Amino acid sequence: MKYETVKSIVLTVLVALSVFLTWNLWTYKPKYEFSDTKYVHEISIAESREPSQLIKPLQVLFHIDEAHYGTVVEEDIKGILQEMSKWNFYDIGSARILEPYQIEKMSTDNNRIEIIYPDVVPFDLYKGVMHFEADVLPNASFDRIVINLDSNTKNSSTVSFISTKEGRVYDSNVNPDKVASLGIETRKKKNIYDEYKGFELKSQDGPKRVMYLPIEEQNMVGYTYFAEYINPDKFKNALFRDPTKVRRDDIANGVQFTDDRSVMNVDYSTNMIDYINPGQETITQTINNNRDLLKRSIDFINEHEGWTDSYRYFDMGVFDRKVDFRLFSNNYPVFNEQGMTEISQYWGSEEILKYKRPYFLKHSFGVPTKTTLPSGEYVYNTLLEDPSIKQEMLESILVGYRLSKSSSNTETEVLTLEPSWYYLYAGSWIRFENDKRGDMSGLE
């Protein structure tokens, strides 16, 4: 072969190779993985937690032997859930649609155990607590689990997962021996639980509702704590894209951090931070299911290990894309008029829109103080005697703590937890004060 011919062939191959490599360079699309919270840095503020540590029942009611009992004690409820974690839940199919009065009847009929959550819990996030024998779980949520102690057949018993807001009931089957064993243990322990009574309330429409409340006075203990504060700079470093470019300015009762897209206000009077990402306000796409919203909220706080105290999932609004986690102490939720006991998140379609939370820890000191609260029946009767109270707007009544802050003689700020009754009225939690209604400013 002539030299010129070889030279031409080599040149042709090189040109073809060059064209091929150029084409691949132009058309290459790298595979990026995007995080929901793209700008949260690896900052460790306190600790991270699993969903099962945050999603817990608010109370358990036992409708057995023609009487009603209940508990809010975490150890009691934990024991029931641990027993149920050994069960296999089979055959969760499509939902039944029931009216509120039908759901109430199936939940509170004799020989039922009713496990009540503060708000809806997605099935998929509860797999770490319950063992579901299904490859695919319903893309749905529940806020109540009802165990029918009388449904025992030869092969199975019925446990129902109920969304009271949507009127949907998902039935599952479990081993009847497991349910029978729980029933026996419950009857042995019923006398250690508070006795409850059902009280009727008007509904928005349809038959009356029944609210179950303890019939005896409640012996409670109040607590005092020293406040320990977390440096707000840790939250600044976690939340802003480039903390080195964040400006700091003094404002009334606090300080403000800003960059070209976000702002974080620190309030020294309430020891709260309020982070706002205004660019997300223009995004209209919503998170379209409960699971994504709750999971995203838990993951967001886990990314900067922001669980600073005994917070629990307490409330979720899908339409306004909001999730609240509330401080609990000694089995009871803690309330404060300035929001000092809540971690609240509002979401845009991809990033956090608003993040509001306290930046303090509490450390116990001093001698606990004993107090007695009136019975649930007294609270119910007192509220209904008020002509301005509309029964259909009264959603719930429970015992909690009121957190207040003051300074001690040593100039160290002191947190006080005072036992109180609270009632949920028209979407706000309001403190009840013995023979009169409480602070009507409400707690969202």
pLDDT higher than 50, residue 323: yes
Q: Rounded to an integer, what distance in angstroms lies between the CA atom of residue 119 and that of residue 142? A: 8
375 DSSP 8-state letter: P
pLDDT higher than 60, residue 3: no
Specify whether the backbone of 65 is left (phi greater than 0), alpha (psi in -120 to 50) or beta.
left
**What local confidence, expressed as pLDDT, does residue 322 receive?**
95
Whether 129 is in a domain gets the answer yes
Q: How far is CA 132 from the centre of its chain?
A: 22
SS3 label, residue 111:
coil
- Residues of the chain with pLDDT > 70, as a percent, come to 84
- The dihedrals phi and psi of 173, each to the nearest 5 degrees, come to -110, 140
DSSP 24-90: HHHH--------SSTT-----SS----HHHH---SEEEEEETTEEEEE--HHHHHHHHHHHTTSEEB
- Gyration radius from the chain CA atoms: 27
pLDDT, one tens digit per residue, over 362-416 is 888 878 999 999 999 999 999 999 999 999 999 999 999 999 998 655 567 899 9
Whether 276 is in a domain gets the answer no
pLDDT, one tens digit per residue, over 94-151 is 999 999 999 999 999 999 999 999 999 999 999 889 999 888 889 999 999 999 998 6
Whether 429 is in a domain gets the answer no
pLDDT band at 302; cut points 50, 70, 90: very high
Whether 154 is in a domain gets the answer yes
**What local confidence, expressed as pLDDT, does residue 28 receive?**
41
Q: Mean pLDDT score of the chain, rounded to an integer?
A: 87
Output the six-digit token pair for 79. Answer: 């024991």
Q: 335, 76 in Cβ contact below 8 A?
A: no
Relative to beta strand 272-276, strand 352-358 is: antiparallel
With vertex at residue 192, the alpha carbon angle to CA 188 and CA 193, rounded to the nearest 5 degrees, is 105
Least confident of 20-29, 83-92, 124-133, 244-253: 20-29
Q: Rounded to an integer, what distance in angstroms lies between the CA atom of residue 36 and that of residue 216? A: 48
Q: Rounded to an integer, what distance in angstroms lies between the CA atom of residue 90 and that of residue 161? A: 12
**What local confidence, expressed as pLDDT, does residue 279 receive?**
77
pLDDT, one tens digit per residue, over 176-212 is 999 999 999 999 999 999 999 999 999 887 788 999 9
pLDDT, one tens digit per residue, over 241-275 is 999 999 999 999 999 999 999 999 999 999 999 99
Residue pointed to by tokens 């409330």: 315
- Other Cβ atoms closer than 10 A to 425: 19
Whether 173 is in a domain gets the answer yes
More confident residue, 421 or 152: 421
pLDDT band at 23; cut points 50, 70, 90: very low
* Closest residue by Cα to residue 123 from 144, 143, 138: 138
Contacts 24+ apart (CB under 8 A), 390-393: 390/202, 391/201, 391/202, 392/201, 392/202, 392/203, 392/204, 393/425, 393/426
More confident residue, 436 or 171: 171
Domain tally for the chain?
A: 1
Whether 396 is in a domain gets the answer no
Q: Rounded to an integer, what distance in angstroms lies between the CA atom of residue 315 and that of residue 323? A: 6
pLDDT higher than 70, residue 19: no
**What local confidence, expressed as pLDDT, does residue 41 receive?**
63
pLDDT higher than 50, residue 283: no
Whether 120 is in a domain gets the answer yes
Q: Rounded to an integer, what distance in angstroms lies between the CA atom of residue 229 and that of residue 238? A: 17
Whether 12 is in a domain gets the answer no
SS3 label, residue 297:
helix
Q: Rounded to an integer, what distance in angstroms lies between the CA atom of residue 379 and that of residue 277? A: 42
With vertex at residue 335, the alpha carbon angle to CA 329 and CA 340, rounded to the nearest 5 degrees, is 95
**What local confidence, expressed as pLDDT, does residue 21 receive?**
47
Residue pointed to by tokens 């309030």: 267
Domain assignment of residue 112, given as a range: 51-214
Across 59-88, average pLDDT: 96
323 DSSP 8-state letter: E
**What local confidence, expressed as pLDDT, does residue 384 receive?**
95
* Closest residue by Cα to residue 127 from 173, 175, 170, 89: 89
* Closest residue by Cα to residue 234 from 40, 41, 42, 43: 43
pLDDT higher than 70, residue 281: no
Output the six-digit token pair for 384. Answer: 């209904």
**What local confidence, expressed as pLDDT, does residue 204 receive?**
80
The amino acid present at 187, given as its one-letter code, is R
More confident residue, 300 or 2: 300
Q: Rounded to an integer, what distance in angstroms lies between the CA atom of residue 395 and that of residue 107? A: 17
Across 87-91, average pLDDT: 93
Which run of H or E residues covers position 395?
A: strand 394-407
The whole-model pTM stands at 0.87
SS3 label, residue 115:
strand
Strand partners, 334: 401
Cite the DSSP H helix spans in 215-323: 232-239, 290-303
**What local confidence, expressed as pLDDT, does residue 441 receive?**
42
pLDDT higher than 80, residue 9: no
pLDDT higher than 90, residue 299: yes
With vertex at residue 197, the alpha carbon angle to CA 194 and CA 200, rounded to the nearest 5 degrees, is 150
